[in-house]
């Protein structure tokens, strides 16, 4: 896999050295045990896989290169490049402006753009409708499109099964940029519907099994189905794909459940398309690494990343099921050895916890981060924790 020119301030010498050693010792990526940083009274266990993925590094490289090569042009991002506050702040500080927020609300009218402007398409991709608007203005999207190739792989999978007369069921967050883009591409090929979780999949089953009618479906799934969708026609054959950053176990559970529902009503052997998991490699590796990390005895976990990052939120969910877990977006959130400001994912708001470090002779802390989080951010958090115990990170051990 190719390497990218990512600004050095996003890198971490310590974490890079650790990752290189782990990769050399485990080329097939079968060992998901964490890396131990033994600081005596503080033991930090780093997940086997975390941090920037292929799609994120590709997007960052294109964005910073575009800035360097076009100092005299207006440069816009369709929306956040990736879901990381530091990276987006770095880009806006260099003059890039967002056209939309993460929900698709307009911040700068498209009508104010001209053919000489540059518009970067974020790693999540965008809808065919927005592509059409920008192309009519004369903007050359192909030069500045940072859509992740793994997202495009889902689009291609959707197109291929839609052409065989299957309805596309997308497991994803309906308002997420990637899901909106995938839905747009899928709906251009055939019927499509989005389900956000297993609870909503169970509700969808009522319409598959004809236990509820068209009008109720249109109300309950408003904004989540393609134009002209008919429940009496379009659930006879389905194929399930997903937003690339969802929980793998949940996607599989939803796919298995919906397949069972369809086959109970339409027993034809080809009623369900043979679709493979469409999670990206980084999402899969990071989730597997967290599961391996959670097999290790620990007192607490820290998950680092943007609060609107889908893949990071799922890492938090996995950790929070087993341990006290703190979701932070940077080292400043750890105020001191007793106070941490963190994101309450379930309440959707910031919160503060006092005495967050257990009072024990030896404390074991699990640490991971999302695919859009710089390793340098994680290192600064490790340094902060180490400083509470008057220790420094053992970089020399990994050189």
- Residues labelled catalytic: 178
Q: To 10 degrees, what angle do helices 281-294 and 54-69 make?
A: 130
For residues 386 and 365, give the distance between their C-alpha atoms in angstroms, rounded to a whole number.
11
Beta carbons of 8 and 264 less than 8 angstroms apart: no
By C-alpha distance, which of 277, 316, 310 is closest to 47? Answer: 316
Which tokens hold the place of 215? 């009008």
Three-state SS sequence of 13-75: HHHHHHHHHHHHHCCCCCCCCCEEEECCCEEEEECCCCCCCHHHHHHHHHHHHHHHHCCCCCE
Which tokens hold the place of 81? 């490049």
For residues 135 and 141, give the distance between their C-alpha atoms in angstroms, rounded to a whole number.
7
Sorted by sequence, the CB contacts under 8 Å of residue 68 that are 6+ apart come out as none
Which tokens hold the place of 195? 């389900």
Residue 342: beta bridge partners? 351
């Amino acid at each position: 896999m190719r390497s990218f020119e990512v600004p050095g301030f996003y890198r971490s010498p310590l974490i890079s050295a650790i990752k290189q050693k782990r990769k050399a010792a485990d080329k097939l990526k079968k060992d998901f045990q964490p890396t131990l940083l033994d600081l005596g009274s503080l033991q930090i266990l780093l997940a086997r896989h975390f941090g920037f993925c292929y799609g994120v590094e590709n997007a960052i490289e294109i964005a910073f290169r575009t800035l360097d090569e076009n100092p005299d042009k207006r440069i816009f991002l369709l929306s956040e490049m990736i879901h990381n506050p530091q990276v987006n702040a770095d880009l806006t500080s260099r003059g890039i402006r967002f056209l939309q927020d993460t929900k698709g609300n307009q911040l700068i009218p498209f009508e104010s753009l001209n053919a000489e402007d540059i518009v970067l398409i974020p790693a999540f991709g965008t809808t065919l409708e927005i592509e059409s608007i920008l192309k009519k203005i004369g903007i050359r999207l192909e030069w500045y499109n940072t859509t992740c190739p793994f997202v495009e792989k889902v689009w291609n999978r959707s197109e291929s099964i839609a052409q065989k007369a299957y309805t596309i069921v997308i497991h994803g967050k309906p308002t997420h940029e990637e899901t909106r883009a995938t839905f747009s591409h899928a709906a251009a090929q055939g019927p499509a519907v989005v389900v956000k979780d297993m609870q909503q999949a169970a509700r969808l089953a009522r319409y598959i099994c004809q236990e509820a009618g068209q009008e109720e479906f249109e109300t309950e799934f408003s904004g989540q189905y393609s134009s002209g969708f008919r429940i009496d026609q379009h659930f006879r054959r389905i194929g399930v794909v997903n937003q690339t950053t969802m929980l793998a176990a949940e996607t599989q559970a939803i796919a298995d459940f919906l397949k069972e529902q369809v086959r109970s009503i339409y027993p034809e052997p080809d009623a369900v398309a043979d679709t493979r998991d469409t999670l990206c490699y980084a999402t899969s590796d990071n989730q597997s690494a967290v599961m391996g990390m959670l097999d290790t005895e620990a007192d607490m976990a820290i998950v680092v990343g943007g609060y609107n990052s889908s893949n990071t939120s799922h890492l938090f969910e996995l950790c929070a099921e087993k341990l006290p877990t703190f979701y932070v977006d940077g080292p400043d959130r750890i105020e001191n050895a007793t106070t941490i400001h963190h994101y309450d994912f379930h309440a959707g708001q910031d919160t503060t916890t006092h005495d967050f470090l257990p009072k024990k002779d030896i404390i074991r802390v699990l640490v991971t981060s999302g695919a859009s989080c710089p390793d340098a951010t994680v290192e600064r958090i490790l340094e902060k924790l180490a400083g509470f115990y008057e220790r420094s990170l053992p970089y020399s051990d990994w050189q």
